[in-house]
Amino acid sequence: MKTLKVIKIGGNIIDNDRVLSMFLKVFTELKGPKILVHGGGKFATRLAEKMNIPISMVEGRRITDAATLEIITMVYAGKINKSIVAQLQKYQCNAIGFTGADGNTIVSHKRIVKTIDYGFVGDIDAVNTTVISALIEAEVTPVFCAITHNEKGQLLNTNADTIASELAIALSNDYNVELYYCFEKKGVLRDVEDDNSVIELIDSEYYEKLKLEHIIYEGMIPKLDNCFHAINANVKKVCIGKVEMLFQQNSRYTTIQK
């Protein structure tokens, strides 16, 4: 089986034109089939402010109401996704932008209300790989934004980390998939203040220990849950760190193991 890289980038790369452009150049130069997944960055919030759309909060959690979903669709699928695709084309990387609605690639359902109604947020049910694999074989690079759909005409806001892991898992039937989460730190840190305290290897047992010791907490928990979900479901390699891990020989980053 061929190796396929699924690479997720977040706001720290998207929000800085110079950094994004550098990343896309590096991304283009990576050999072999690849998929890019991008989050949203700060622009959606800025646009909502400009349009005087208040941020919906329930019990301290952000809600995707209809107005917010419209903004997210415009910013993620429009502005950010198409800017990335156009730049990749400049570097001769033949990219096509996707939401989960395009090609019916990622099907989700509106998150079921338990205590909080998150609004138009989608939890993924299925990834259809037919169109994605066909494009990859034609040397096209899919670029996914953080939007899925429910097959009933409704677009849904979906966590980009989860999109990356679910794509990686689904494509593991046909490829040796490597999943890379690029973020602002060198990896999972033992001391959040010290960028050199990278933990280079975490397995499930160690993960439990790190959570108990409160070394891994808050936002890192869903991120790492995604990583373990992927590595436990046939994804060959899962790494977290700065973009440098993709191309620098001796860079330090975190690798997740079963």
Residues binding a second copy (CB under 8 A):
47, 50-51, 70, 73-79, 81-83, 85-87, 89-90, 94-99, 101-104, 130-131, 134-135, 138, 140, 147, 149, 151-155
Q: Beta strands of 139-225 (E only): which ranges?
A: 141-144, 147-149, 155-157, 176-182, 201-202
Our CB check for a second copy shows the closer of 69 and 246 to be 69
Our CB check for a second copy shows the closer of 79 and 252 to be 79
Our CB check for a second copy shows the closer of 106 and 243 to be 106
Which residues touch 222 (CB under 8 Å, ≥6 apart)? 159, 161
Our CB check for a second copy shows the closer of 81 and 254 to be 81
Q: How far is the CB of 71 from a second copy (least distance, A)?
A: 9
Contact status, residue 69 vs residue 48, Cβ threshold 8 Å = no
Contact status, residue 165 vs residue 175, Cβ threshold 8 Å = no
Q: How far is the CB of 106 from a second copy (least distance, A)?
A: 11
Which residue, 158, 164, 39, is CA-closest to 101?
A: 158
3-state secondary structure of 5: strand
3-state secondary structure of 208: helix
**Burial tier of 38 (Cβ tally within 10 Å: 0-12, 13-18, 19+):** buried
Our CB check for a second copy shows the closer of 107 and 168 to be 107
Distances (CA, A) of 230 to 17, 226, 237, 250, 255: 30, 6, 9, 25, 12
Q: How far is the CB of 215 from a second copy (least distance, A)?
A: 40
Please tell me the distance from the alpha carbon of residue 127 to that of residue 13, in angstroms, as a whole number.
Answer: 26
Q: How far is the CB of 128 from a second copy (least distance, A)?
A: 9
Our CB check for a second copy shows the closer of 26 and 96 to be 96
